Structure 1
Amino acid sequence: MRAVRQTRFVPAAVAAAAMLLAGCSSGTGPSAAPTTSATSSSSSSDGVPAVAAPLAPLPTAIPAALATYYAQKLSWNSCDEEFECTTFKVPLDYEHPGSGELTLSAARKRATGGVDRLGSLVLNPGGPGGSAVEYVESVAKGYDSGVRAAYDLVGLDPRGVGRSSPVTCLGGDRMDAYTAIDITPDDQAEKDALVAADKEFAAACQQKSGTFLGHVSTVESARDMDVLRALLGDDKLHYLGKSYGTFLGATYAGLYPSRVGRMVLDGAMDPSLDAMAGNKAQAGGFETAWAAFAKDCVKRDDCPLGTNEKQAGEQLDALFKQLDAKPLTTDSSRRLTESQATTGVIQAMYAEFLWPQLRTALTTAKAGDGTGLLKLSDDYYERSSDGTYPNLMFANMAVNCLDLPAPFATPDEAARAVPDFEKTSPHFGRDMAWMALACAYWPVRPTGVPHTVRAAGAAPIVVVGTTRDPATPYAWSQSLATQLDSGRLLTYEGDGHTAYGRRNGCIDGAVNRYLLGGDAPATGTRCAK
């Protein structure tokens, strides 16, 4: 669990299951030139910017230097049953279009409605680092039948992700070691080991990805989406983003407000927060989710954590402490460490249907077998059975470290922040404070800063927030909906990460009506679990 701003999307396999359950049938390196008016802003004591400047829109006219990119012709080829794939070119650096190019990949499932087609609906599952191509191929058939009839469902892997010039870092064996490193150091030797691991990760990314690391920012990916919009033949971008995908979508809206079509931002991030505030708030989100899990667990016969919520928390802490001293054996040659156990617990907070798996994993861990929790941790990182990893976490770190300045410069600064993080999250705060140290050693200077997004003049934008969302706390959705001039907040009173497509008729109905007819829900609309 090593991202700086841990806005993990629900992995593709989990997302596909969620849609099916929903039964939806109705050092320094080169830096990119900033394209935001936001400048360094002062911060309050809790890390929240006192003044965050709004993201400045780009000119509506296509710059002459980019005309050739907007004039490309997409060639779609069959790549899977009912899916087509394509590639297109974008400049490595939008401020210097002649300095190099990238090849981006997209996939789509064509609309089933023929003449009633509304255009393309571009989807992003989050991350940063989640493959939108894989997401579309996994969940497209589970979307509402009316939405599938009206839209081509399109997934674009952002630059550095999946099939779009992916960032590459550590090999499988070294990633195994990286995911197992102690991220709650108790002495100087453990601090040194953590710093060495973060430096190794950063150095590997620099060695294998080079100057490209300076050009994977969210602003650049948003500009890539505008090129795709034009190549798809759409005057407006219709878009549905989840988790980090909301940050990408909001960034697009801020840069191109006049080109916003029907936009849904589900499980929103708050762009006005700096990395310190974001990490601490997210630690609180996982704490809220843990409390909901514990409350549910202690009512069940198979709960291994006692008969009340206080006991559940104490027993979780005791297990983590035990693992910190001595990792558990598993059904493989690998052992379960404290950090992997924590990651496994956090993985199960993303979706309620993972709670039974977590109860079983905790039961076996208390009996001395770490296999179940290691499996959950591996699922989080999308580790394959052959020991290989996708580029998910490589891209995650690369984008996060470029989008915001690092919250800590030294281990001492991280250590001083631990008590404050633990106040917000007694069970996960220590981990997430130390996790945030990783960007201190990133080889590329950050190009982004905290900012607000107004998107003045944009069509209504629907922001969906879940009250007990672990990864994107509900307060973030409230904040983004308020920042956006045309924001409409739709609230799901429930658990899990994101809300659309999770069998809640109220949420799904409101989003589908908006996508199909443009009827945005009134701000303040709430849907019960």
Structure 2
Amino acid sequence: MHIRRTPRQTNPVARAMATALTTVVLVAACSAGSSVTATSDLAEAALAPLPSTTPPALAPYYGQKLAWRNCGVEGFQCATLKAPRDYADPGSGDVRLAVARKQTTGRTTSNTTGKNKPLGSLLVNPGGPGGSAVDYLQRYAGIGYPAEVRARYDMVAMDPRGVARSEPVECLDGRQMDTYTQADVTPDDVAETEALVGQFKKFAEGCGGRSPQLLRHVSTVEAARDMDILRAALGDQKLNYVGASYGTFLGATYAGLFPQRAGRLVLDGAMDPSLSARRLNLQQTAGFETAFQAFAKECVRQTDCPLGAKGTTTAQVGDHLQAFFRKLDEHPIPAGDADGRTLGEALATTGVIAAMYDEAAWPQLREALTSAMKKRDGAGLLALADSYYERDGDGRYTNLMFANAAVNCLDLPPAFDTPEQVEKDLPVFEKASPVFGRGLAWAALSCAYWPVRATGGQHRIEARGAGPIVVVGTTRDPATPYSWAQSLSRQLTSARLLTYDGDGHTAYGRGSTCIDSAINAYLLKGTPPANGKRCS
């Protein structure tokens, strides 16, 4: 039942770009009219493009003009875009989508004349699903993207339907969410299994009760179609886009639906839409294990590693962490929380997972583990978990978790339908990750109780006719394993795979001059990197 936003990073752009995927059930989607029917772990059908002409019923949406206004953050303007709630029945009602922009600065660090010509809009999305693109733009991208990029593009963001300012999906209040995030996701007996299932059901019922109509219309395909309406409202012939993590799936879906309108697309921390929910969860579980092993190797070289000293193997580090989790499962420890929460196994595991997204957070994790293991002070791990769940000091949660589940459970049929199926698959997940496998397998059961049947399914995305699309993969990415970038780059007919040999989630803006230079050249000059280019 984990979603995630990176808790700490030195680079603010990278911090926001690292908004990642859920480990409840991962995402893919298909158009209702695409004839995608996939039941195996690898999809054979491809997402079909939509007609190039605008249907008459959608003409009013495509013809709308954005009324920009000051939105309270210096240098930024905001507007509201209308889109049909149901694309199959546009007359049944609208959704109102929050849009923000920062207009081109008109400046560049280049001394070469004649290179200041505006390039239109650059839409950005930090992932999730459920991450606020508007927040990302105002806090990071609009001020932290390279000056050359901001000088040539209007930086634009839109919260997808159901997210943040765009008619947000709502499910539980703060106290209910506290209970949900502390649910035991490694049940040891029938009673604990029933308690976990009860929490999944309560979460799903809350979403169904508070957002009954919208819940059926927050798919990735619908969000991608909203992006095309935004493109038209901005006056751009083609969509230029940088998406991270789930944002890569959103961007790839756009390219699949509208290949002729796909401009310069960067898909950083790529997803693989051809996989089933079970396979996505399983491969992400292995990704977290890869990241944990990298952390373990680094940890035992430090003098403050609470999981072992120099010479300790990564397997032993994992054993020590599992033993600590088991102790917390039986006896939670104080965490200095004003609302009385203690640190049990669930929140401790979430805190560790949160730090796997960025190697810059590893010292913080070592300190938090030391306090918890040696001083019985769980405050550090609780802070990491709260950052992951976007819980503030007053006990309020953003709608990230709600939107995350709503999109995921609509985009793909559930990974598991019953607890018995999870039990049967536990050995496979535990082999993929001895540390995290059991909990992530049980977390993947959550969509089984969703009040709305999935409308999407796994599929390949080819985007035939699109210009070059840059797909970026990081070799030790925990949330979007490198194999997903490789797979997506093989599916997209015009993809250029750009590889970052390193740790952490996503690559752009994380300190690699090689990666940043390649992406900047593509965005500014339209020159994609050579397919297979590797950076470190």
TM-score range (shorter-chain normalised) is: over 0.9
Equivalent residue for 1:153, pick from 149, 152, 155: 155
Which residue in the other structure is 1:37 paired with? 34
Asked whether the 8 Å contact 2:82–2:95 carries over to 1, the reply is yes
**Which residue matches 2:120?**
119
User: Secondary structure at the residue paired with 1:55?
Assistant: coil
For structure 1, the residue ranges without an aligned partner over 5 or more in a row are 23-31
Q: 1:328 to 1:310 in 2, by over 3 A?
A: same
User: Quick one: which amino acid aligns to residue 144 of structure 1?
Assistant: P
CA offsets, 1:473-495, max 9 Å, x none? 00000000000000000000000
Task: Select 2:207's aligned residue among 200, 205, 223.
Answer: 205
Q: Structure 1 stretch 151-160 or stretch 115-124: which is displaced more? A: 115-124
1:525 aligns with 2:520: no
Structure 1 residue 411: Cα displacement: 0.8
Q: Map 1:415-426 onto structure 2 (within 5 A).
A: 415-426=423-434
How far apart are residue 370 of structure 1 and its match? 0.9
The reply to whether residue 169 of structure 1 matches residue 171 of structure 2 is yes
- Contact 1:35/1:56 (CA < 8 Å) preserved in 2? no
Deviation string 1:209-251 (CA, Å, 9 cap, x unpaired) is 0121000000000000000000000000000000000000000
Residue 57 of structure 1 pairs with residue 49 of structure 2: yes
The SS at the match of 2:471 is strand
Partner SS, residue 185 of structure 2: coil
Q: Which residue of 317, 323, 327 corresponds with 2:328?
A: 323
Q: Residue 486 of structure 2 aligns with which residue?
A: 478
**For residue 342 of structure 1, what is the aligned residue in structure 2?**
349
- Residues 221 and 521 of structure 1: CA distance in aligned 2, closer, same or farther (over 3 Å): same
Counterpart pick for 2:61 among 69, 73, 76: 69
| Aligned counterpart, 1:104 | 97
What CA distance in whole angstroms lies between the structure 1 residues aligned with 2:496 and 2:387? 34
Structure-1 separation of matches of 2:387 and 2:82: 32
2:402 matched to 1:394? yes
Contact preservation (8 Å) 1:21, 1:502: no
Give CA deviations for 1:369-419 in whole Å, capped at 9, x if unaligned.
111111100000010100000000000000000000011111111111111
Deviation of the 1:101 alpha carbon? 0.6
Alignment pair present for 1:84 and 2:77: yes
State the alpha-carbon separation in 1 of the partners of residues 53 and 221 from structure 2.
18
Separation (CA, whole Å) in 1 of partners of 2:292 and 2:461: 31
> In structure 2, which of residues 261, 264, 276 is the aligned counterpart of residue 262 of structure 1?
264
Instruction: Indicate if the aligned counterparts of 2:5 and 2:388 stay in contact, CA closer than 8 A.
Output: no
User: Shift of residue 16 of structure 1?
Assistant: 6.0
- Structure 2 counterparts to residues 269-308 of structure 1, below 5 A: 269-307=271-309, 308=312
Residue pair 1:36, 1:55 contacting (<8 A) in 2 also: no
Report the RMSD for the aligned CA atoms in angstroms: 1.6
- TM-score after normalising by structure 2: 0.93
Secondary structure class of the residue paired with 2:211: helix
For residues 434-467 of structure 1, the C-alpha deviation after alignment (integer angstroms, 9 at most, x for no partner) is: 0011101000010001000000000000000000
Indicate conservation of the 8 Å contact 1:352/1:496, yes or no: yes
Cα distance, 1:310 vs structure 2: 3.1
Structure 1 letter corresponding to 2:45: A
Distance 1:20 1:403, change over 3 A: closer
C-alpha distance in 2 between matches for 1:52 and 1:103: 35
Q: 2:31 touches 2:47 (CA, 8 Å); kept in 1? A: no
Which residue of structure 1 aligns with residue 364 of structure 2?
Answer: 357
Q: Which residue of 2 aligns with 1:25?
A: none
3-state secondary structure, aligned to 1:210? coil
Following superposition, the deviation at residue 62 of structure 1 comes to 0.6
Choose the corresponding residue for 1:494, options 478, 483, 502: 502
**Superposed, which structure 2 residues align to 1:160-239 within 5 Å?**
160-239=162-241
* 3-state DSSP of counterpart to 1:526: strand
Q: Which deviates more, 306-315 or 464-473?
A: 306-315
Q: Which residue of 2 aligns with 1:26?
A: none
* Alignment partners' CA distance in 2, 1:338 and 1:244: 27
Alignment of 1:401-480 (within 5 A): 401-480=409-488
Maintained 8 Å contact 2:37/2:457: yes
| 1-structure distance, mates of 2:13, 2:233 | 31
* Counterpart secondary structure, 1:158: coil
2: CA distance, partners of 1:34 / 1:18: 32
Secondary structure of 2:79 counterpart: strand
Equivalent pair of 2:80/2:99 in contact (CA under 8 Å)? yes
Q: For residues 387 and 205 of structure 1, what CA distance do their matches in structure 2 show?
A: 19
Which is further off, 330-339 or 307-316? 307-316
Q: Show structure 2 runs of 5+ residues with no match.
A: 18-28, 108-115
Percent of counterpart pairs with the same letter? 59
- Answering whether residue 245 of structure 2 is matched by residue 243 of structure 1, we say yes
Q: Distance in 2 between matches of 1:352 and 1:461?
A: 28
* Code of the aligned partner of 1:345: V
Match of 2:131? 130
Q: In 2, Cα distance between the equivalents of 1:288 and 1:376?
A: 20
The residue that corresponds to 1:27 in the other structure is none
Q: 1 CA distance for matches of 2:410 and 2:400? A: 16
For residues 213 and 484 of structure 1, what CA distance do their matches in structure 2 show?
A: 30
Secondary structure at the aligned position of 1:116 is classed as coil
**CA shift digits 1:309-336 (9 cap, x unpaired):** 2331121011111011111111122101
Distance 1:252 1:132, change over 3 A: same
Distance 1:485 1:425 in 2: 33
Residue pair 1:16, 1:138 contacting (<8 A) in 2 also: no
Cα pair 1:9 1:244 within 8 Å, conserved: no
Contact 1:466 1:498 (C-alpha < 8 Å) held by counterparts: yes
What count of residue pairs does the alignment treat as equivalent?
509
**Normalized against structure 1, the TM-score is what?**
0.94
Q: In structure 2, what is the Cα distance between the partners aligned to 1:109 and 1:355?
A: 34
